[in-house]
Amino acid sequence: MSEKKQIRIATRNSGFIDPENIDSYIAAGGYLALAKCIEEMTPTQVIDEMKASGLRGRGGAGFPTGVKWGFAAGYKSDTKYVVCNADEGDPGAFMDRAILEGDPHSVLEAMAIGAYAIGGNKGTIYIRAEYPLAIKRLKIAIEQAEEKGVLGKGIFGSDFNFDLDIKYGAGAFVCGEETALINSMEGMRGEPYTKPPFPAESGYWSKPTIVNNVETLAAIPAIIVKGANWFNKIGSETTKGTKVFALAGKINNVGLIEVPMGITLREVIMDVGGGVAKGKEFKAVQTGGPSGGALTYKDLDVKIDYESLAACQSIMGSGGMIVMDEDDCMVAVSKFFLDFTMDETCGKCTPCRIGSKRIYETLDKITMGQGTMDDIENLKLLAVAIKDTALCGLGQTMPNPVLSTMRVFEDEYKAHVIDKKCPAGVCSSLLEFVVVDEKCVGCTLCAKICPVDCISGKVKEVHVIDQAACIKCGACLDKCKFDAIIKR
């Protein structure tokens, strides 16, 4: 993968050090930042340094980390918590897992720095139970850090104590939302609650709590060591530093990349990603997962940061980037995401619980060829209403896939409704499979594979598909060696 445009900060050690050996991390400059904080800086200085760096939460919302810490530091309490949000539920994004598996100590160190800054002494890592290797390495890392005395009581000979434990998620996407995450850590259903009070005031066990994402934390030791001025020179006007993206889908170079904020989408996809796979036409890229939106060929020159992505009806999200080509139907993709949110909505607030279902049903109707123009108008109205009224981030961003694809691909929606055609050839109810007479050699392979026996024809004669009986499974198309079956 092209290294030229990449700058590795959060992933600086991943792949270079032995994640199961603390000495390897220390040799790479590990725990230097924590030592610097405790020995040379006051908690206020640490927070000021974070504010000056311009680091913003990498979990998706982009809230300035230093400001969050400043809030928590401002509240008086005997116990304050630092929580690491490692409940990476966004399908198609796996940077948190890569960091936890490749460099767990950087997260522990940053949590200790956070605790020092806000005056806390307890930390919890909330991690997906589906990441066994990351859990194993975190446990090893915590054990070794306690042995070395960089976690636990009297760190670096000071009176600063910091204890860490791990709590497991149980597969709920909404738990990435910080209030839902806190409920889940307390052993309850992971339903969000209304803010304020913000967790910084009253969070885990009603104590001041800061919740930071893995990638945000991983960048912190580097910022402390190299200084805020180094960090805020990288990036765009509004968004400093780098972002890890998970490039996937129909792209040549699949995998994690870390690029400076402000890079254009074109550079990410065409240069770093090596362009669309199989030489096909670039159609769209989905950023921010199910809560995000599709950026299209029109947006290729958009500079990537929180504000410019929001202007395109999308979000930065946790950094998934799924590239789609001409063969992907945007209505079907929207439906896929709504199917996901419909499944993952916690059901607490009505706009999200019922709204997701109604949007899904409307999209389903359109892909079945039963949509009307009213449906398209209703979709837009409903999407806006949900955005305005839902309780938490999950609901407020849930209509994004629909809104953003409609922005550019309204024609595609209309084609489904008016012409009853799927231009990309994905929505099977709107397709017809037919045999091209000139190409068919009568090998009978298609007739044999057909699950409903709707293809007839003798050996070495042109075959015919009975459209009334065809279930449009596409098995014949995949099987035919002579490209004699087409869908249209």
CA-to-CA distance for 134 and 142, rounded, in angstroms?
12
Full 3-state SS string of 168-189: ECCCCHHHHCHHHHHHHHCCCC
Count the residues of the shown chain that bind other proteins, applying the rule CB under 8 A.
65
Residue closer to other proteins, measured from CB, 226 or 479: 479
Interacting residue with other proteins among 388, 438, 468, 481 (CB under 8 A): 388
When the beta carbons of 8 and 250 are compared against other proteins, the nearer one is 250
Residue 189 interacting with other proteins (CB under 8 A): yes
Distance CA 341, CA 196 (A): 25
Helix (H, G, I), strand (E, B) or coil at 385: helix
155's CB contacts (< 8 A; 6+ apart) are 34, 38, 112, 149, 161, 162
385 is a contact residue toward other proteins (CB under 8 A): yes
Choose which of 48, 130, 163, 201 interacts with other proteins (CB under 8 A): 130
Q: What is the rounded distance in angstroms from the CA atom of residue 156 to the CA atom of residue 328?
A: 56
3-state secondary structure 348-374: CCHHHHHHHHHHHHHHHHHHCCCCCHH
> Collapsing DSSP states into helix, strand and coil, what is residue 19?
coil
User: Rounded distance, CA 73 to CA 64, Å?
Assistant: 15
Residue 187 as a binder of other proteins (CB under 8 A): the answer is: yes
Closest C-alpha among 82, 165, 78 to residue 117 = 82
Number of neighbouring beta carbons within 10 Å of residue 396: 17
**Alpha-carbon span 52 to 43, nearest angstrom:** 14
Binding mask of the shown chain, residues 252 to 281, with x at each position contacting other proteins by CB under 8 A:
--xx--------------------------
Does 185 sit near other proteins (CB under 8 A)? Answer: yes
**Contacting residue, 29, 92, 423, 457, with other proteins by CB under 8 A:** 92
Among 42, 158, 370, 456, binds other proteins (CB under 8 A): 370
| Interacting residues with other proteins between 441 and 480 (CB under 8 A) | 451, 473-475, 478
- Which of residues 27 and 385 has its CB atom nearest to other proteins in the complex? 385
Least Å from the CB of residue 91 to other proteins:
3
Residues numbered 318 to 357 that lie near other proteins (CB under 8 A) are: 320, 322, 324, 328, 333, 336-337, 340, 346, 351
Name the minimum Å distance from CB 230 to other proteins: 31
Instruction: Examine residue 196 and say whether the peptide bond preceding it is cis (omega within 30 degrees of 0).
Output: yes
Q: Does 375 bind other proteins (CB under 8 A)?
A: yes
**Chain contacts with other proteins (rule: CB under 8 A):** 88-94, 97-98, 129-131, 167-173, 184-190, 205, 246, 248-250, 254-255, 286, 289-290, 320, 322, 324, 328, 333, 336-337, 340, 346, 351, 358, 365, 368, 370, 372, 374-375, 378, 381-382, 384-385, 388-389, 451, 473-475, 478
